[in-house]
Structures are given as structure tokens and as C-alpha cells.
Amino acid sequence: MSEDFSRRNFVKSAGTALAPAVLAAQNVNSELQLAWIGTGSRGNYLLEMLYKGSVQPFKVAATCDTFTGNLAKGKDRVQTMGGNTPKTYNDYRELLLDKSIDAVVIATPEHLHHSMAIAALKAGKHIYVEKPLSHTIEEGAEVVKAAEKSGKVVQVGTQNRSNSLYIKAKEMVAQGMVGDVHYVRAFWYRNSLPDNPAWRYTIPGDANEQNTDWAKFLGPAPKRAFHKGRYYQWRLYWDYSGGISTDLLVHQTDVTNFVCGRTVPHSCVASGGIYRWADASDDREVPDTFSAIYEYPDKFHINYSCYFGNVRYGYGEQFLGNEGTIEVLNRQILTFTPETFGGKAPPHVAARKEMKIELPGNDNNAVQAHVRNWLEAIRGKEKLVAPVQIGQQAAISGHMATLSFKNKRMVIWDDKTQKHRFA
């Protein structure tokens, strides 16, 4: 199978993806004026994916970051790939005052998503916000409400929904290729040497209080003295991150919902801890070993595991139907294996053939498609693949796992009241 499969299947599915109706376009032929809030590693990557995969006309007119090094890299990326010099800011609120900006990408630490999204919507901007939608369930609900009131196009960065292999898996489940699906296993395994712990990103050698705006980074988080580790390795601390739950798990519960037609689980029990790199100087707060069990209404179950000490099985989901299994590995390999029933498979199952599709680099294709879908939705040409309501559903699953882990109790979700409680 080739990359053509990836693009062809995304285009085919765009009109049928679960999303609200296409919003009226401001002007389908006008040049969209875009701005980037956050030009660190993820923000710079999204810029690259925009230029490689999106449909003109658009212009990245402004960038924003609280570290001057990141700001310079983002400016250089736009100049190199876009051919223009963007305005630069270290305060997103000043950027949002520019009425010529149509839409913003928010690629910052998750604790800033809520305040930035609310401000952008009040300023009349369309938004692409990285996952998770927010740092808490309650913040996410506020963003959903504000987005619905504004009528703006808000895409959440759960790009697996734009991945052609998951789109194929969804089609296969809908066609009954694996029979009834009551059980899904999802996993994300990583490993690294002792001198390179997970999420201990390299701190720039020139980083200091003068070129790193600590106060703007903290935003709504508890105030504390300048701390390079917390700024540059923010995923390791609860004030700014949900750790595994909202960086990794949320992708996999979300795409399971997508493939199997689910929304929010009824309950979650999670456990784990800090098992690796735990020397006396280590100040991490989020776990490196994590498991979560989800129960959904109507007899559906997800068994999730993540461990940063072994990479043998990589990243993937196994959709275990009573007539067959679909496995998606590392976002680029899909296999289908029918059940054999010990040589006594019913004729309709026995007739099915094993399948394997390999698309190296397919996650890049998915991110490009996801950003492109957002732009085309702004233009009124497509429905959003991951609108804000879907993004909130995805975030709820992640937050339920965090709440269960931190409180050592089962979390129950009440879909009618849109609130959680502990069992």
C-alpha cells in the first residue's frame, strides 16, 4: 500500500466524519491570516506540517512564545517555508489584538490552553488547539461553551482521527469485519538510557530569567520562583501537565471512541507510579508507569497500559472483536486477523483473509490532513474532524484517569450532569 491510500481515504471520509455542520465561510478565496501561539518543539512541527500539507492561500502573519530562542526558531521557520517575516510577540494577548488575524494555533503547555482559547474566542479568532483541550474537565466545559457561543471553528489536535489507518479500521468495524467489539487493548511503551529520562527535554544552554518569561509561562498556575526544569520540562509536573493521561493516553482513548463509535466512559480506575530514574535529585511528579481500566455503557471496555522502561511493543491499539482483530501499530501499520474458532469458523468468517497495510511516516500525513481540515472548515469547504465537543470528550477520559490515580479511587462519569464523582 502507498501514501495514496492515506490521502485518498482521508478525503473520502472528510464528508462523513462525526462533526457539526460546516460553518459558513468568511470568504473561501481570501488569504487566511494565521498566528502561532507557542513555537517550541510541537509548535514548530505544526508549522512544518502546515506548509507541507495545507492548501493555499494562507499566511502565518504572527508568532508568539515566552522564550526568545523558540520565538527566533518560529520566525525562521516562517521565513524559510512561508517566504514572509511574521510579527513576533511574547504576550499572546497583544497578538490577539491584531484584528487582521483570522485564526490561531495554540501549541503551549496544557495549563495555558483554557485561558488562551477563551481569549482567542473573545477576540473572534478560529482556533486549532493541541490536546488536551484543557487542564481540567471544568475548564474544557468552559471552552466548549465559549466556542459554541462564538460560532468559530475550533479543532482539537487529536490527529489520529485524520489518520487513514484508523479511518480504515473504523470502516472495517462498521462493516462487521470483526463482529461485535466489547474489548480494546491500548498501549504506549517507550524506553531510554539513564542519562535521557522521559520528558527531560534538553534545557537550552543560554536559557535564563531574561530570555525566558517565567511569569507568562506560569499564567494561572501557582506562583513560584523561576525554575528552568519546570519551564523546559513542564510535562513532568502536575501544575502544567496531566502526564501520561493527557499526553499519550488521551490519543488512544479518543481514537478508540472514533473507531468503535463511543464517547465518554462510565468509569475509570487507574494506578501506577514513578518506577524509573528515581534517584535522590529527581523531582518528577507524574508517573512513568501507568495503567487504566475503562468501562463504558453497553458492555464496552478499554484496557490501557503505558511504561517508559521497555519499547518492545511500541504504540498501538488492538480492537478485539468476537470474529476478528484489528491492530494498529505506531500509527503506520494496520493488520487484520480473522478468528479461527479452532478450525470451525462459520463460513462468513472463514472466507475473510488476513490483511496488512504499512504506511511509513503516516502520522505526518495525519497531522497535515488534520491541519488542512481545520483550514478548509474555516473556508466552509469541510466538516471538522475533531471539533471542540469531541476534544472535550477525549480530555474527559484523560482527566478521569488522572483523578483516579491521584485519589486512589474509581471515578464515575455522569453524562447527564457532565460531572464526575468518586465511587
Query: 160-203: per-residue pLDDT in tens?
Result: 999 999 999 999 999 999 999 999 999 999 999 988 899 999 99
Same domain, 257 and 271: yes
DSSP 251-310: HHHHHHHHHHT----SEEEEEEE--SS--TT----S-SEEEEEEEETTTEEEEEEEETT-
**Structural domains counted in the chain:** 2
Q: How many CA atoms lie within 13 A of 287 on its CB side?
A: 21
Same domain, 215 and 80: no
Cβ-contact 372, 159 below 8 angstroms: no
pLDDT exceeds cutoff 70 at 23: no
As a whole number of angstroms, the distance between CA 400 and CA 136 comes to 10
Establish whether the linkage from the previous residue to 57 is cis, with ω within 30° of 0: yes
pLDDT category of residue 146 using cuts at 50, 70 and 90: very high
Same domain, 157 and 194: no
Higher pLDDT, 282 or 25: 282
pLDDT exceeds cutoff 60 at 7: no
pLDDT exceeds cutoff 80 at 22: no
How high is the pLDDT of residue 194?
Answer: 87
With respect to residue 168, please indicate whether it lies within any of the assigned structural domains. Answer: no
What's the average model confidence in pLDDT over 150-155? 98
Same domain, 198 and 56: no
**Could you give the maximum distance between any two Cα atoms of the chain, in Å?**
71
CATH number of residue 8's parent domain: 3.40.50.720
With respect to residue 187, please indicate whether it lies within any of the assigned structural domains. Answer: yes
pLDDT exceeds cutoff 80 at 66: yes
What's the average model confidence in pLDDT over 245-258? 98
With respect to residue 170, please indicate whether it lies within any of the assigned structural domains. Answer: no
pLDDT exceeds cutoff 70 at 130: yes
What's the average model confidence in pLDDT over 211-217? 98
> How far is residue 380 CA from its own chain's centroid?
23
pLDDT exceeds cutoff 70 at 15: no
Same domain, 195 and 293: yes
What's the average model confidence in pLDDT over 23-38? 77
pLDDT in tens, 365-393: 999 999 999 999 999 999 999 999 999 99
Of 282, 276, 333, nearest in space to 310 by CA: 276
Same domain, 214 and 146: no
pLDDT exceeds cutoff 70 at 14: no
How high is the pLDDT of residue 5?
Answer: 52
Same domain, 37 and 119: yes
Question: What is the average pLDDT value for the chain, to the nearest integer?
Answer: 94
pLDDT exceeds cutoff 60 at 26: no
Same domain, 183 and 260: yes
How high is the pLDDT of residue 397?
Answer: 98
207 burial (CB, 10 Å; 0-12 / 13-18 / 19+) is: middle
pLDDT in tens, 400-421: 999 999 999 999 999 999 999 9
Same domain, 406 and 381: no
Q: Rounded to whole angstroms, what are the CA distances from 187 to 302, 305, 307, 333, 386?
A: 10, 5, 8, 15, 22
With respect to residue 286, please indicate whether it lies within any of the assigned structural domains. Answer: yes
**In percent, how much of the chain has pLDDT > 70?**
93
Same domain, 99 and 219: no
With respect to residue 48, please indicate whether it lies within any of the assigned structural domains. Answer: yes
How many helices and strands in the chain, by DSSP H and E? 14, 16
Q: How many CA atoms lie within 13 A of 349 on its CB side?
A: 18
pLDDT category of residue 99 using cuts at 50, 70 and 90: very high
Of 26, 24, 34, 76, nearest in space to 54 by CA: 34
With respect to residue 218, please indicate whether it lies within any of the assigned structural domains. Answer: yes
Beta-strand pair 58-64/32-37: parallel
Q: Which residues contact 124 (CB under 8 A, 6 or more apart)?
A: 99, 150, 152
pLDDT in tens, 255-290: 999 999 999 999 999 999 999 987 888 999 999 999
How high is the pLDDT of residue 49?
Answer: 98
Alpha-carbon dihedral sign for residues 102, 38, 95, 242 = positive
Strand order through the sheet with 333-338: 355-358, 333-338, 324-329, 315-321, 181-189, 300-307, 289-296, 267-273, 411-414, 419-422
With respect to residue 169, please indicate whether it lies within any of the assigned structural domains. Answer: no
Backbone dihedral angles phi then psi of residue 289, each to the nearest 5 degrees: -135, 125
pLDDT in tens, 101-116: 999 999 999 999 999 9
What's the average model confidence in pLDDT over 45-56? 95
What's the average model confidence in pLDDT over 76-101? 98
pLDDT exceeds cutoff 50 at 2: no
Same domain, 411 and 263: yes
pLDDT category of residue 16 using cuts at 50, 70 and 90: very low
How high is the pLDDT of residue 280?
Answer: 82
CATH number of residue 340's parent domain: 3.30.360.10
Of 203, 220, 221, nearest in space to 212 by CA: 203
Residue numbers of the domain that contains 275? 176-359+393-422
With respect to residue 171, please indicate whether it lies within any of the assigned structural domains. Answer: no
Q: Which residues contact 415 (CB under 8 A, 6 or more apart)?
A: 263, 264
Same domain, 47 and 118: yes
How high is the pLDDT of residue 55?
Answer: 83
